[in-house]
Amino acid sequence: MLRIIRAFWHDQRGLALILVSVMLPAIIGFSLLAIDMSRVNNLHNDLQKGADAFALAAAAELDGRTGSWARAERAMATLVANESNFSTAGRVGLTAGQPGGTQRCNSAGSISWCFLKAIPANDGTIITPTNQDTYLADSTPSVGEPQTRFIQVTVTPTGFAAIFPASFITAGASDSFNVGAVAVAGFNSGVCNYTPVFMCNPYEMVNGTNSAGGVTLEQAVASTAVRRRLIELRLVGNNAAYGPGNFGFLAPPDSVGNGAQGLAQTIATSTPLGCYSAEGVSTKTGQNNGPVQDAFNVRFGIRANGNAFNSAEYGPASNVRKGASTGGNGNGNDNGNGGGNQCPAYNQLTFNATGNMGLPRDATTPYMGGRMGDGDWNFSTYWSTNFGSTSYPSSWNTTKPTRYEVYKYEIANNLVGHASTGGEVGTPPSACLAPVTTIDRRLIYGAILNCQALQTAGNNLNGNSTNLPVEAFASFFLTEPVPGASQGGSVFVELVDITGRGGQGTLDNFLRDEPQLYR
């Protein structure tokens, strides 16, 4: 008997069963917790992915143009299909709707959203009723849509029921709670194949007014009468302040040399490589005006100093009519004594000779300190000098066209080769490089900066400034060649179009619009 008792005492068979029995409640508890954590994590992931998808779809429409709120709502309602699992309701589809696009904050289906003009710098800062005026776009769509840069999407919280009894840990604790998700996405716009030029916004508003008669940039693009105002763009001297109508240069691509000639090449070429983001650009200063003048003028079939731009990508526009004649036979089409592979040099041309007329300047310049015209240019004399009795659209008799419209009409109606009374034609001379027809060489493209506001904020535009926000990217029509530095070096242009807010869509081929998640 004693031996049996001793054997039983030392027998360890079945010990694991005892230990398992003791630990079984803890094992089951931890298993339930693991299952619950997996379920709630999957539910939150489903909701967050849904919020992200809604926000990105909407952000892609926030280009600042009229109707962007409605388009954002439509994108969320029609382009996104998601669902969530493991909520108390089981498998549930996440949906949006289109309540009209007139409210800066709204809700439909499974989500709510707000259109924002800015977001807090700190991710931990929550937009609340006390600080919302700082971040929400204006409640009036005509004002708020151009402001809108971001959208915040909130998925309606859904219930979750835990399997693990929370009351087992804490008396009175609930086994159910809600799970939600929030996403913020924005519209990041940029351009590629753009020339490294910036212009100080001629229509920049300061304290509710400007030197352009109170017209905004968007209003200028929308109005033919304002677009045809001739603008004189000028470089500024060292350490001088930049104001409306000044222009400068952006940092060219890294593959381009840092010198003045490298910058000029990126301006002169018909195949620029630069890409610039509306979030911020960098300026490049201290450049020589000479190569830059040449870079603009190759578009008019004017030879660069030293034949610097001598390959096909630097060819002239298909219409170079400029009211000039050379020393040869009086024909602006003549190569004169320039020789070489390019066209006459600037100093070999005589402008405003009898019978030759380029696109004239405005009659008066009442805006921007005398550097913006009134839009009243002498169309009738220009037309009769260059095209005689050739017909043109009758609407131009009541609404004067822009110079750019006339230039394009000449090309479209085979009038480029029509000789003026003095013998000038718009066709580049045979000694020039072949005209570039893939793009419009008389257009220059650049970033528009609100220079006054940037300088007030402490930015030195005379230095190599970085991360300067862009008001818009724009295209300008060169109306005449750029004279030498001794003559002021001014660039005379008409505004043609802008990207985004109020734009006409002619720059869409340059745009690289990317919606981006911010939080």
Residues 335 and 328 sit within 8 Å (Cβ to Cβ): yes
Position with higher pLDDT, 21 vs 447:
447
pLDDT score at 174:
60
Q: What is the pLDDT of residue 487?
A: 53
In 135-274, where do the E strands start and end? Answer: 150-161, 176-192, 197-200, 231-233, 247-250
Q: Are residues 242 and 96 in the same domain?
A: no
pLDDT reading at 212 higher than 50: yes
Residues 229 and 374 in one domain: yes
Average pLDDT (434-439) is 90
For residue 328, what pLDDT band results from cuts at 50, 70 and 90? Answer: very low
Are 451 and 459 in contact by the 8 Å Cβ rule? The answer is no
Same domain, 313 and 436: yes
Instruction: Indicate whether 512 pLDDT > 50.
Output: yes
Specify whether 174 is located in the same domain as 40: yes
- Residue 503 CA to residue 245 CA, distance in Å, equals 20
Q: Are residues 95 and 124 in the same domain?
A: yes
Task: State how far the Cα of 88 lies from the Cα of 214, in Å rounded to an integer.
Answer: 58
* Final residue before a domain boundary, out of 160, 188, 216: 188
The verdict on 118 and 166 lying in the same domain is: yes
9 assigned to some structural domain: no
Q: Of 501 and 241, which is predicted with more confidence? A: 241
State the average pLDDT over residues 119-147.
Answer: 80
Query: What's the mean pLDDT when you consider all of the chain?
Result: 81
Q: Is the pLDDT score of 339 beyond 60?
A: no
Q: Residue 296 in contact with residue 317, Cβ under 8 Å?
A: no
Determine how β-strand 443-449 pairs with β-strand 197-200. Answer: parallel
Looking at residues 202-212, what average pLDDT do you find?
89
Q: Same structural domain for residues 130 and 258? A: no
pTM higher than 0.75: no
**Whether 180 and 204 share a structural domain:** no
Q: What is the mean pLDDT of residues 67-80?
A: 88
Q: Binning pLDDT at 50, 70 and 90, where does residue 338 land?
A: very low
How far, rounded to the nearest angstrom, does the alpha carbon of residue 337 sit from its chain's CA centroid? 44
Residue 406 confidence (pLDDT): 96
Distance CA 367, CA 356 (A): 28
Residue 255's pLDDT band, with cuts at 50, 70 and 90, is low
16 inside domain = no
- The confidence score (pLDDT) of residue 194 equals 82
Q: What percent of the chain has pLDDT over 90?
A: 23
pLDDT exceeds cutoff 60 at 333: no
- Binned at pLDDT 50, 70 and 90, residue 133 comes out as confident
Residue 445 lies in a domain: yes
What range defines the domain where residue 283 resides? 193-517
Please report whether residue 132 resides in a domain: yes
For the segment 278-312, what is each residue's pLDDT rounded down to a tens digit?
778 888 765 555 577 888 899 999 887 666 788 88
More confident residue, 5 or 358: 358
Give 276's pLDDT tier (boundaries 50, 70, 90): confident
pLDDT for the residue 125 = 78
Provide φ and ψ at 324, rounded to 5°: -135, 155
CA 62 to chain CA centroid, Å, is 12
13 within a domain of the structure (yes/no)? no
Task: Label residue 353 by pLDDT band (50, 70, 90).
Answer: confident
Q: For residue range 310-322, what is the model confidence (pLDDT) as tens digits?
A: 888 989 999 999 9
Report pLDDT digits (tens) over 8-37: 666 666 666 666 666 666 666 666 667 767
pLDDT beyond 60 at 485: no
* Chosen domain end from 188, 222, 252: 188
Q: Would residue 281 count as lying in a domain?
A: yes
Cα–Cα dist 467/160, whole Å: 45
Extract the tokens encoding 318.
Answer: 């298909």
Among the ranges given (187-191, 435-439, 451-455, 491-495), the one the predictor scored with the smallest mean pLDDT: 187-191
Q: Choose among 59, 70, 71, 72: nearest CA to 189.
A: 59
Q: Is residue 344 part of a domain?
A: yes
Cβ atoms of 454 and 204 within 8 Å: the answer is no
Reduced to 3 states (helix: H, G, I; strand: E, B; else coil), residue 511 is strand
For the stretch 379-401, pLDDT in tens is: 999 999 999 999 999 999 999 99
Average pLDDT score over residue span 145-169: 75
Identify the residue with better confidence: 187 or 73: 73
| pLDDT recorded at residue 227 | 93
Tokens, residue 62: 């926030």
- For residue 96, the one-letter residue type is A
Residue 145 and residue 197 in one domain: no
Among the three residues 188, 209, 234, which one is the final residue of a domain in this structure?
Answer: 188
Asked if residue 229 and residue 265 are part of one domain, the reply reads yes
Query: CA dihedral defined by 471, 477, 483, 486, rounded to 10 degrees?
Result: -10
Question: Are 508 and 46 within 8 A, CB to CB?
Answer: no
The per-residue pLDDT for 330 is: 38
Q: Which ranges of 87-241 would DSSP assign to H, the alpha helix?
A: 132-135, 141-147, 217-222, 224-227
* Domain-located, residue 15: no
The domain tally of the chain equals: 2
Planar angle of CA 323, 314, 411, nearest 5 degrees? 45
- What does the alpha-carbon distance between residue 81 and residue 203 come to, in Å, rounded to a whole number? 43
336 falls in which pLDDT band (50, 70, 90)?
A: very low
* Three-class DSSP category at 494: strand
Whether 331 has a pLDDT exceeding 50, the answer reads: no
496 Cβ neighbours under 8 A, 6+ residues apart: 227, 404, 443, 474, 475, 476, 477, 506
Closest Cα partner for 475 from 500, 435, 452, 443? 443
- Give DSSP secondary structure letters for 10-55: H--TTHHHHHHHHHHHHHHHHHHHHHHHHHHHHHHHHHHHHHHHHH
pLDDT value for 230: 96
Give the pLDDT mean for 118-130. 78
Q: Do residues 100 and 205 both lie within one domain?
A: no
Which tops the pLDDT comparison, 363 or 461? 363
Mean pLDDT within 58-62:
85
Residues 281, 220 within the same domain: yes
